[in-house]
Structure 1
Amino acid sequence: MHDFKLSRRHFGMLAAGVAASAALPFSARAAGGTAIAATFPGNWEDAYRKALTPILEAEGFGLTIAPAMAQDQLAKVMASPGNPPFDTLLMSPGQMAIAIEKDLIQKIDPSRLKNWNMLDPAFQGEYGPTVTIEVNGIAYNPDMVPKPKGYRDLFENPAYQGKVSWTGFASNTAVMAYTEMAKIFGSGPDDMDAVFKLFKEHPEQLQGVVDSTNHQMTLFQQGEIAVFMCSTGNVARLKSLGMNAEFVQPETGSPAAPVNIHLTKGAKNLDAAYAYMDAAISKAAQDILKMPPTEMFPTNKDVALTPGIEAYVTRDQLSKMVYPDWAAINKNRAEWIRAFDALVAG
């Protein structure tokens, strides 16, 4: 397992981000205390602030949403393990495995969650509940390109040349796509040399590499790209902005990742943290979060799927999704990041 290495500049940027998040409005005098919750930036932070803050306030708690990608959440907590800047983290299995290994999160007490029994056993994690399943695939603009069948199409069909964007291996969405491509073009999910060879043979694809999915969504809105690897939530957001965007499940299968809320070791506001966790899995919150522009797949079994979500995936299809081996990914990820960055840099 590789530790994360932060430059002084990057660390400063992270610190500034957390400081800025602390200034976000919340009930400063909440009788039960305030939960400081790390949440993915963008769509997630907006949705969680709007849906969960009123629920916590009704129970006498405040909520501060601190936007940070999962890798940055880990970096901040690892930089101050005895005094974590967040009470809770929001992560997929890859980062969760590192957080457990580094002893950064703790097992939860399910008896403190009123809505625990509304989750199927598969969503009842000992380190925190699953709040949604992110299903990943390919976003495309049907006004600009035909519907792709899968990853192979993007390299072999001239219709996509110069219209596809990729991100690096620090992105969970990207790394899940690359492990699927390693199966198609190589000997298995760990054969990333085959993926790097593919990009070398198609240098035009490297011109579409950017730093994040948020950057890709901006380029998509501007008509500079027509295809990128994404989650269903990204497509829902683009649709809400009036964009002609569609989601494709690759013919080889859709990579998927559960997203869990975790309790940090040394969390200062346990009561508020549990109230936040419970709110996130409540029917009241998930009935809001399942609607556009987020369309998060609900894990509370009392929450019915919308037609929009069912167009992407049904409950019966969840078991047929592709769930990557995050232990293998974490073992190789730092090396893959270096190799891909060098490839992009030329």
Structure 2
Amino acid sequence: MTWRAALPALLVLVATACGGTPETARGTLVVSVFGYAADRVEEAVVTPFERQTGIDVVLETGGNADRLSKLRANRTAPTVDVVLMSDLYAAMGEKEGLFDTLDPARLPNLADAHAFARNPRGYGPAYTYALLGIAYRTDRLAAAPTLDRLGAAPYQGQVALPGTAVSAGVPFLLALAQAYGSGPADVEAAFRALARLEPGVLTFYNRSTELASLLDRGEVVMAPSLDIFAVDLVERGRPIAWTPPDFGRYLITNRVELVKGSPNRAMGERFIDYLLSRPVQERAATAFHDKPVNRTARLPPALTRVSGAAAADPIGAGFRPIDLDFVMRHHHAWIQRFAREIAG
């Protein structure tokens, strides 16, 4: 998710001072982003915000887990104001009281967002999303693969599957539960399916950049993956495609959250609304392939080339958000079980 998770580019903003009117506000926002594409995030999103508002932005980088741990450690004296995180880790922070609810009146651009992007609990909205499917080599497969081909004899040792800690891991586990069990909550069936697939798996990847490299070199023929990580390869003309799954269509999002206790709420909400605006959503889609949640945003051709109609309307294409409450209750146990029974 992400926005990349790799999901998906994630930012954390810290504001330390604010003065004047909204048009001439002065202050500093510390922005923490995923390391992936951080330079493009700065160019396409952060620098224009600085020019538009007069607010200085300092970037930080880090993964979801590390940044959530930092928020926990600093909950009594927050050092950041706004956090961009994958939906699962953002939901954890919401549950733990690390984030604050937002005033919809200060987020006019939220009205243009897809319904799935709006947070039903009033916390930070999604600003981008990614879709679970299968990435594959078009020079090795004559047709788009389906779930049952992941374990087929001709492709033994040429398949990669996501680990439970990577962005695609949880939606893939739920998809297996839906395909081979009674529904997405039937995780026992999903683990049985993973055990059957394991002998033919080359690797369980833990970073999406690792998967992109394996596909690019041709060591892997197909792999369940988020769509966003196929876009760069397709743009470079590599024989790679991505297909929606036949086994449960899930989307994950990246959310932008206001840190509870931030002394710079006004600047934080201003950035959140800016991130949802059409111009910013379009620049992000072009610069680092974040699919817009703003329904009025125009899509670059690369996104529709990879994801088809789901790049503009994932719900209409049959994709659904994962049940974050269910996942939060079980995620730690799944990671431990996966390490013990599958990857081990």
Q: TM-score range by the shorter chain?
A: 0.7 to 0.9
Specify the alignment match of 1:302 in structure 2. Answer: 296
CA shift, 1:316, in A, is 4.2
Kindly provide the CA deviation profile for residues 113-158 of structure 1, in whole angstroms up to 9, marking residues without a partner as x: 3533333454333212321221221111112334443222211x22
Give the Cα–Cα distance (whole angstroms) in 1 for the partners of residues 141 and 259 of structure 2: 45
Q: Matches of residues 144-223 of structure 1 in structure 2 within 5 Å? A: 144-155=140-151, 157-223=152-218
Give the Cα–Cα distance (whole angstroms) in 1 for the partners of residues 140 and 57 of structure 2: 42
Q: Which amino acid is 2:241 matched to?
A: E
Q: Which amino acid is 1:133 matched to?
A: Y
Match of 1:285 among 277, 280, 293: 280
CA shift, 1:212, in A, is 1.6
CA contact (8 A) 1:233 1:294 kept: no
Specify the alignment match of 1:84 in structure 2. Answer: 78
CA contact (8 A) 1:168 1:174 kept: yes
- Structure 2 stretches of 5 or more lacking a match? 1-11, 14-23
Give the Cα–Cα distance (whole angstroms) in 2 for the partners of residues 119 and 345 of structure 1: 39
Change (3 A) 1:317 1:119: closer
CA shift, 1:281, in A, is 1.3
- State the superposition RMSD in angstroms: 2.6
Specify the alignment match of 1:56 in structure 2. Answer: 49
Specify the alignment match of 2:127 in structure 1. Answer: 131
CA contact (8 A) 1:209 1:344 kept: no
Give the Cα–Cα distance (whole angstroms) in 2 for the partners of residues 328 and 341 of structure 1: 20
Change (3 A) 1:345 1:179: closer
Specify the alignment match of 1:318 in structure 2. Answer: 315
CA shift, 1:159, in A, is 3.2
Give the Cα–Cα distance (whole angstroms) in 2 for the partners of residues 185 and 176 of structure 1: 14
CA contact (8 A) 2:176 2:247 kept: no
Specify the alignment match of 1:9 in structure 2. Answer: none
Change (3 A) 1:54 1:212: same
CA contact (8 A) 2:228 2:290 kept: yes
**SS of equivalent to 1:290:** helix
Give the Cα–Cα distance (whole angstroms) in 2 for the partners of residues 121 and 241 of structure 1: 33
Change (3 A) 1:47 1:274: farther
Give the Cα–Cα distance (whole angstroms) in 2 for the partners of residues 81 and 73 of structure 1: 12
CA contact (8 A) 1:149 1:251 kept: no
* Identical aligned residues as a percent: 23
Change (3 A) 1:57 1:226: same
Matched, 1:231 2:231: no
Kindly provide the CA deviation profile for residues 13-71 of structure 1, in whole angstroms up to 9, marking residues without a partner as x: xxxxxxxx99xxxxxxx96222223333313x343212112222111012233222323
CA shift, 1:317, in A, is 4.2
Aligned length in residues: 316
More strand by percentage: 2
Kindly provide the CA deviation profile for residues 209-236 of structure 1, in whole angstroms up to 9, marking residues without a partner as x: 1322222222223332232222221111
Q: Matches of residues 262-273 of structure 1 in structure 2 within 5 Å? A: 262-273=257-268
**SS of equivalent to 2:203:** coil
Change (3 A) 1:189 1:304: same
Tell which deviates more after alignment, 134-143 or 265-274.
265-274
CA contact (8 A) 1:255 1:323 kept: yes
Task: State the TM-score, normalized to the length of structure 1.
Answer: 0.81
CA contact (8 A) 2:198 2:342 kept: no
**SS of equivalent to 2:291:** coil
Task: State the TM-score, normalized to the length of structure 2.
Answer: 0.82
- Structure 1 stretches of 5 or more lacking a match? 1-20, 23-29
Matched, 1:37 2:37: no
